[in-house]
Structure formats: structure tokens, C-alpha cells
């Protein structure tokens, strides 16, 4: 049985390698980093020097010294045990220098004078490091190598591989690997299932995540608090709050106490659904059972207060979280600043973002977008454009939303010519304009009495592969009817009713 499992897993590795390394005989190799070509530093000379470091100094050792220690140990006679080598490799992996771990072991394998045989722990370190370097196919190749050495993978190997493929957006391959490993006798555990469920939820594939969740329960594998939390987060992000209660009842029946991730997902879900009072009730419940809120919990609550136009309450909560030792992040500050901007308290919003920078929280694209949008809402067009200029010259790079905010802001402040020039620049410089961009322009043109131009632009959407949404349709039909262009309005309506947002085949009516 052992041999059949080894053969099967090795075959699986070959199948994946064939996809990514089509040339026969090509094996993945990594060049040894330059710093490994060092002279071994002088130790004090005592025979147990390296053992003393392993016992007392390994937690504080930096990557470069750990690599030197590994090389010293490799030249020491008699050779240290593989357990001791594993300790050094683990310490390097903890510094997230996964490439150094791989290069060190590559050095061992290429050296003719070294006879260091890996064990399962070594192999799991290497498989994980390949996956952390976004090279899961290399990890699968190493799986075949370890099988040839007679080392069978375990649940840790499996979870590393599954996580590796999920990290590079290959969830189908991750599911396939998990399925094949199970067929080959490596039992899936709650860690593997949680990784799969989490990745599926992050991609919006909540239905598939539920299927995996039910499958694990049917196989007698009990979900833990992390499994429930990632699935509840996925459901909340998709607005499926009714399904969340089923999971919560399941948690209670299993006597699993929700953690901060579970509560935060619920709070955020209620905030986004406009059910802020329920979000506050959940917050009270988590405090009641001694689950401390984190920065994400506070950020969701601050956003909720701002959505309810209770900005002063949001500001107080920011002070409270600081007093409790929870440092706000850029999302927290942006939520509060956005609340001030929407309440036409622009100066206070700007002050929040300035305070963020003063406290060492670097502004990102989202922070700039929040500031620019707030300035436009307050009619501060010059300031908004100046901040946008900072982004394009020295700040974080603007994204499409940044450009859309500028377009909408210019139109809403009746700077139509500037908006149209910006739109022309965007068409020349960017190839990612979406239906939101065109809807902003169509709506802006209609409000500026440029209905014929807006109609031509609306008709052109199909030619560039875009589909009109409800907002574009509503703006266009309303403007056409208001200006007495009933034939065109009726044509737009018929076309939208027939094709909806799937396809636009409307021909311009002369």
C-alpha cells in the first residue's frame, strides 16, 4: 500500500509538472544567493558552539547569521542531526526569507561532500517555502522527490500545497490536489478545509464554499471557530445574513465560542445592510462575553456611525479605541474623514487625514480618494485637483476610481469643459475605463444639456464592449424625454428591456 500511494502521488506531481515545465528533463532549480558564498565566521572553538546557539540564541538570530550557522553546521564533523538543521531552517522561514531556505537546501543537495538526509519535517519546510514563494508547482515537484526518498506526505504537506495554489489564484488546482491526496490516503483535516473555504469566499464563490463546508461535516470532520468565521465573513460580504444565523446556531450547538473575526464579520455585514442598531447589539454582545474588538471591528462601527450621520459619535469612538490601546489604521481614518465630508464638515475631514499622517499612518490611494471626493463635495475644486496632482506626481498612484471621482466632481461642480478634457485624457492614457466612467460622463453631459452628445456616447458603448447599467439607462432616457426626443427615448427603452445589461445593439437614430 505504501508503494502504491508513493507512486500515485509521484504521478500527480508529474502531471502538474507537465503543465508548467513541458520540456522533458527540465527540473526546477534555484541559483544559490550571493551571500551564501561567504567565509564561515569564526566561532569560539568549543565543540558545542552551534548547540549553544540552537539552545539560547536562535529566536533572536537574523537571517544572514542563521544562514552562516547552517553552513558552519554543514562543515562540522560529526554532522549535526537533521533535527538540528531543521531548527535553523525553521528560524530562517520565520523571517519570511523562504528563498534563503530553498537556496540553502539546494546547496546541500548539490554538494558532493554532504550527506544530510531530510526527514518529513524538512520536506514540509521546503514545500511550504516553495508555496510561500508563489511556486506551488515547484513544491509539487519536491513532493515527488520526497516520495522517491520513501517519505510520505502528511496533513501538513497537504495544507501547505493547498494554500500554495490558493495563494496564486489557482483554487481549482488546490481542490484537485486536496482530492488527489485524499484518494492517495492522506486524510484532509480541518486546516485544509478552512483554507479552501476561505479562498472560495474571498473570490465570491460562497455557494461552492458552502458545498465544501457541508462535505467536511459529512466526512465527520468538525469545523472549528476559524472555519465558521471565514464562512460567516464570506456570507456577510455577499449580504446573505439570513444564512449566517444557521451557522451561528450550528456554532452554539457545538459549543464553539465566536471570536473577534466572527463578531467583526457580523458587525460589518449589518453596517453594509443598513441595520446599524443590530451591529451595535452584536458589539455589546461581544463585549459581554469578553471578546475584545480589534481595529477592523472599530473601523466598521465608525463607518456605521458615519453612514447614520452620527459623525460626533464616530469621532468619540476613535478616541475610545485609542485609549484602549487599539491603533486606528488608514481604513479607520478614511471612514471618519468620509463621514465629515458627507456632513459638509470639510475642514474637520481634512484635519482627520492630517492627524493620520502626523501619527505615522501613511496615506494610500483610498485616503487620497476620500480627501479628493470630500473636497469636491464641498466645492473646493482647486484643492481637489491639487491633491489629485500630488497623486500623479509624488503620492500613491491613482486608480480608476480616483479618475472617476475627479470626473464626477468636475461635472457636479459645473466644470464641464475640464471634465470633458479629463475624459479625453483618460481615453488616451488608460485602457481600463469601465461602465461607471462612461455613466458619469453620460450623466454629466445630460445635466449640461449636451443630450445629443450623451446619446452618441451611450450608443457607442456596445462598440467598445461595455454594457449600459441601470444608472446610464435612467440618465439617458430621462434626458431624452425631458428634451422632447421621444423616439430616441423609446428606442433606448425597447433596447434596454430587450437586452438589459447583457448586450447593447442600439443604433443611433438620426
- pLDDT tens per residue, range 239-292: 899 899 899 999 989 999 999 999 999 999 999 999 999 999 999 999 999 999
**What sections of 448-507 are H helices per DSSP?**
451-459, 470-482, 486-499
Residue 295 confidence (pLDDT):
97
- What's the rounded Cα separation, in Å, for the pair 398 and 330? 16
Give how far Cα 427 sits from Cα of 26, 344, 392, 403, 424, Å: 44, 32, 17, 11, 5
- Closest residue by Cα to residue 408 from 451, 471, 485, 452: 471
The contacts of residue 122 (CB under 8 Å, 6+ apart) are 82, 85, 86, 89, 105
- What's the rounded Cα separation, in Å, for the pair 383 and 376? 8
The verdict on whether omega for the bond into residue 189 sits within 30 degrees of 0, i.e. cis, is no
Residue 56 confidence (pLDDT):
77
Residue 197 confidence (pLDDT):
96
DSSP state of 395: S
Residue 510 confidence (pLDDT):
31
- What's the rounded Cα separation, in Å, for the pair 166 and 416? 46
Residue 32 confidence (pLDDT):
36
- Single pTM value for the model: 0.73
Burial of 233 (0-12, 13-18, 19+ CB in 10 A): buried
CB 226 within 8 A of CB 197: no
Mean pLDDT by 10 residues, the chain (510 residues): 43 49 38 37 52 79 90 89 95 94 93 89 97 95 93 95 95 93 91 96 94 94 96 93 91 93 94 94 93 96 96 96 95 95 90 92 92 89 92 89 96 95 92 92 93 92 86 91 91 81 37
- What's the rounded Cα separation, in Å, for the pair 59 and 72? 18
CB 388 within 8 A of CB 373: no
End-to-end CA distance of the chain, in Å?
Answer: 77
- What's the rounded Cα separation, in Å, for the pair 119 and 149? 9
**Number of other residues whose CB lies within 10 A of the CB of residue 143:** 27
Say how many CA atoms lie within 13 Å of 415 toward its Cβ. 18
CB 472 within 8 A of CB 462: no
- Closest residue by Cα to residue 272 from 313, 306, 224: 306
User: What SS3 class is residue 474?
Assistant: helix
CB 26 within 8 A of CB 59: no
- What's the rounded Cα separation, in Å, for the pair 237 and 203? 11
**C-alpha R_g of the chain:** 29
Please report where in the chains the cell 479605541 appears, as a residue.
Answer: 321
CB 210 within 8 A of CB 244: no
- The packing angle between helices 225-237 and 260-272, to 10°, is 10
Residue 505 confidence (pLDDT):
37
Please report where in the chains the cell 490536489 appears, as a residue.
Answer: 177
Give how far Cα 475 sits from Cα of 406, 454, 488, Å: 19, 10, 13
Q: Annotate 260-329 with three-state secondary structure.
A: HHHHHHHHHHHHHCCCHHHHHHHHHHHHHCCCCCCHHHHHHHHHHHHHCCCHHHHHHHHHHHHHCCCCCC
- What's the rounded Cα separation, in Å, for the pair 478 and 458? 13
Q: Where are the domains of the chain?
A: 434-500
- Closest residue by Cα to residue 189 from 167, 209, 219: 219
Residue 466 confidence (pLDDT):
87
Percent helix, strand, coil in the chain, to 5, is 70, 0, 30
Amino acid at each position: 500500500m505504501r508503494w502504491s500511494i508513493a507512486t500515485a502521488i509521484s504521478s500527480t506531481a508529474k502531471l502538474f509538472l507537465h503543465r508548467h515545465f513541458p520540456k522533458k528533463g527540465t527540473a526546477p532549480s534555484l541559483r544559490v544567493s550571493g551571500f551564501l558564498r561567504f567565509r564561515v565566521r569564526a566561532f569560539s572553538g568549543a565543540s558545542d558552539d552551534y548547540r549553544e546557539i540552537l539552545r539560547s540564541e536562535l529566536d533572536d538570530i537574523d537571517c544572514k547569521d542563521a544562514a552562516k550557522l547552517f553552513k558552519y553546521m554543514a562543515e562540522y564533523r560529526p554532522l549535526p542531526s537533521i533535527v538540528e538543521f531543521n531548527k535553523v531552517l525553521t528560524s530562517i522561514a520565520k523571517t519570511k526569507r523562504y528563498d534563503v531556505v530553498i537556496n540553502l537546501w539546494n546547496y546541500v543537495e548539490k554538494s558532493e561532500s554532504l550527506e544530510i538526509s531530510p526527514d518529513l519535517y524538512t520536506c514540509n519546510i521546503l514545500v511550504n517555502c516553495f508555496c510561500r514563494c508563489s511556486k506551488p508547482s515547484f513544491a509539487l515537484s519536491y513532493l515527488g522527490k520526497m516520495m522517491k526518498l520513501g517519505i510520505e506526505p502528511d496533513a501538513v504537506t497537504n495544507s501547505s500545497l493547498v494554500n500554495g495554489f490558493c495563494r496564486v489564484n489557482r483554487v481549482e488546482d488546490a481542490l484537485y490536489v486536496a482530492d488527489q491526496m485524499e484518494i492517495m490516503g492522506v486524510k484532509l483535516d480541518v486546516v485544509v478545509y478552512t483554507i479552501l473555504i476561505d479562498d472560495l469566499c474571498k473570490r465570491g464563490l460562497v455557494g461552492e464554499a458552502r458545498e465544501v463546508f457541508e462535505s467536511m461535516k459529512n466526512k465527520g470532520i468538525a469545523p472549528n471557530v476559524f472555519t465558521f468565521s471565514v464562512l460567516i465573513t464570506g456570507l456577510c460580504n455577499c449580504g446573505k445574513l439570513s444564512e449566517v444565523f444557521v451557522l451561528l446556531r450550528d456554532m452554539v450547538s457545538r459549543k464553539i465560542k465566536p471570536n473577534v473575526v466572527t463578531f467583526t464579520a457580523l458587525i460589518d455585514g449589518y453596517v453594509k445592510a443598513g441595520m446599524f442598531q443590530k451591529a451595535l447589539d452584536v458589539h455589546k454582545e461581544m463585549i459581554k462575553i469578553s471578546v475584545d474588538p480589534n481595529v477592523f471591528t472599530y473601523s466598521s462601527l465608525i463607518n456605521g456611525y458615519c453612514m447614520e450621520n452620527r459623525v460626533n459619535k464616530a469621532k468619540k469612538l476613535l478616541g475610545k479605541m485609542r485609549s484602549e490601546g487599539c491603533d486606528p489604521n488608514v481604513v479607520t481614518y478614511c471612514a471618519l474623514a468620509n463621514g465629515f465630508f458627507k456632513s459638509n464638515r470639510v475642514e474637520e475631514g481634512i484635519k482627520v487625514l492630517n492627524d493620520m499622517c502626523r501619527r505615522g499612518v501613511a496615506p494610500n490611494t483610498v485616503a487620497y480618494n476620500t480627501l479628493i471626493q470630500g473636497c469636491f463635495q464641498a466645492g473646493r475644486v482647486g484643492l481637489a485637483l491639487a491633491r489629485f496632482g500630488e497623486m500623479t506626481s509624488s503620492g500613491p498612484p491613482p486608480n480608476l476610481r480616483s479618475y472617476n471621482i475627479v470626473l464626477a466632481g468636475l461635472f457636479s461642480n459645473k466644470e464641464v469643459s475640464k471634465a470633458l478634457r479629463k475624459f479625453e485624457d483618460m481615453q488616451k492614457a488608460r485602457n481600463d475605463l469601465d461602465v461607471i466612467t462612461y455613466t458619469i460622463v453620460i450623466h454629466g453631459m445630460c445635466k449640461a444639456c449636451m443630450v445629443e452628445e450623451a446619446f452618441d456616447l451611450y450608443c457607442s458603448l456596445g462598440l467598445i464592449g461595455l454594457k449600459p447599467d441601470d444608472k446610464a439607462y435612467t440618465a439617458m432616457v430621462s434626458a431624452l424625454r425631458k428634451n422632447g426626443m421621444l423616439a430616441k427615448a423609446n428606442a433606448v427603452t425597447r433596447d434596454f428591456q430587450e437586452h438589459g445589461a447583457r448586450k447593447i445593439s442600439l443604433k443611433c437614430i438620426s
